[in-house]
Amino acid sequence: MARHRAVLPQWLALYYDEPIEIVRAQGRRVTDAEGNTYLDFFAGILTNAIGYDIAEISDAIRAQLDTGVLHTSTLYLIRRQVELAERIAELSGIPEAKVFFTNSGTEANETALMLATQYRRSNQVLALRNSYHGRAFGTIGITGNRGWAASSLSPVKVSYVHGGYRYRDPFGSLPDADYIKACTDDLRDVLQTTTAGDVAALIAEPIQGVGGFNVPPDGLFAAFKEVLDSYGILLISDEVQTGWGRTGEHFWGIQAHGVTPDAMTFAKGLGNGLAIGGVVARGDLMDCLTANSISTFGGNPVATAGAKATLDYLLDRDLQGNAEKLGHHLIAGLRDLGERYDIIGDVRGKGLMIGVELVESGGKDPSPPNAAALLEETKARGLLVGKGGLHGNVLRLAPPMTLTGEEADEALEILEASVAEVAR
């Protein structure tokens, strides 16, 4: 850790009072350099979607390595890239879709912003409060969470709307239909008062990730899209964390709202640990650039071979259905825990994307200390979880989608013991 601190940025966060180095992994379990084994319920920030040491994925990567071709660049045809793009275009549901591959979710969202602002000839963008879309210049500019927005400078003019963080939203106590109406009225007001009208796009996470796995009511973005369509504004769905069936009930998070976006961004789980991201968008939107562009590493032969194997594995084994089933089980168990311990203010999520918001005992005030203590307690008992939220007080649970029922029960037992200790 001392060597890490000496040569890496001080803003590069590490979990735990005594950070761990993961040196081996199999299935849903990882082992650190000290020989301690943990059930992994964060999956490298939702990236190891299938788990660890999966033969079908490893074999696909080795087969590509055996050709000797690790890289060629997008200046040449890449068969695996084309095959993967065809599959994603079909799965997207976007008419005449085209795909551009990047190396990360940040890059994907930067690309989506570039496409939308070029297509609409406008630098105005709408985003949700408490959002997070990446750590690059443009994506920080549209991030509505001060803890992750390091700079006020931005290449775009952004206006923020309600609808991201319902638990602490001023409209949060309203019933679903009234909440959707209040947020949609706010969207109209923002368009009329803080923009020139010719906005490029609204970019939104169907479920906020870094913001604490916040889930809006189904139908919110359908109501938003009616307003956006009346202005000609594009809708970009940031599926970096919600894609590939993780939410259980749908393959893409935006499908819960019954709308087809103009573009979707993706990354994380597609590579099961390999660096890959991208944008899938309407053909006319994707083709709107008037200058040359390439991606040196995006969609490289190794990443696309591994991603194609990951996608095939996920679809062939109905891991989306597994996420839905075990997600219901976990959420029910956690809500039961919330009934017994008042330091749990809210349990929310869909599929294997679950947030547990920690509060001060007897109230609703956010409690970062309780969340930090719970992070340590779960680790001590052999469970790795994530932490996030506007106030740093939300546990984020997102295990690999190959999770078993026995492992879900094991995690619930550890969480119960850990919550009891923190509450005590």
What is the secondary structure of 181-230 as a DSSP string?
A: HHHHHHHHHHHHHHS-S---EEEE-SSBTTTT-B-PPTTHHHHHHHHHHH
| Tokens representing residue 364 in the block | 């609703």
Condensed to tens digits (0 to 9), the pLDDT of residues 301-320 reads 999 999 999 999 999 999 99
CB-based contact 239:261 (threshold 8 Å): no
CA 237, 238, 240, 244: dihedral to nearest 10 degrees? Answer: -10
Chain centre distance of CA 54:
22
CA–CA separation, 192 and 195 (whole Å): 6
CA angle 20/24/25 to nearest 5° reads 105
Domains parsed from the chain with CATH numbers: 2-54+318-423 (3.90.1150.10), 59-316 (3.40.640.10)
One-letter identity of residue 307: A
| Tokens representing residue 134 in the block | 């990446």
Q: Which residues pair with 37 in a beta bridge?
A: 31
| Tokens representing residue 5 in the block | 């601190």
Q: Determine the average pLDDT of the residues in 254-275.
A: 98
One-letter identity of residue 68: G
CA–CA separation, 412 and 300 (whole Å): 39
- Asked whether residue 170 carries a pLDDT value surpassing 90, the answer given is yes
Tell me the residue ranges of DSSP E strands in 133-218.
157-161, 201-204
Secondary structure percentages of the chain, helix, strand, coil, to 5 = 40, 20, 40
One-letter identity of residue 385: V
pLDDT of 196 reads 95
Rg value, the chain, Cα: 21
Arithmetic mean of pLDDT over the chain: 97
pLDDT of 77 reads 97
CB-based contact 351:46 (threshold 8 Å): no
- Residue 146 pLDDT level (bands cut at 50, 70, 90): confident
- Asked whether residue 151 carries a pLDDT value surpassing 90, the answer given is no
Q: Which residues pair with 124 in a beta bridge?
A: 157
pLDDT of 26 reads 98
CB-based contact 112:263 (threshold 8 Å): yes
| Tokens representing residue 29 in the block | 């379990």
The pTM score is 0.97
Task: Count Cβ atoms within 10 A of the Cβ of residue 363 and give its class: 0-12 exposed, 13-18 middle, 19 or more buried.
Answer: exposed
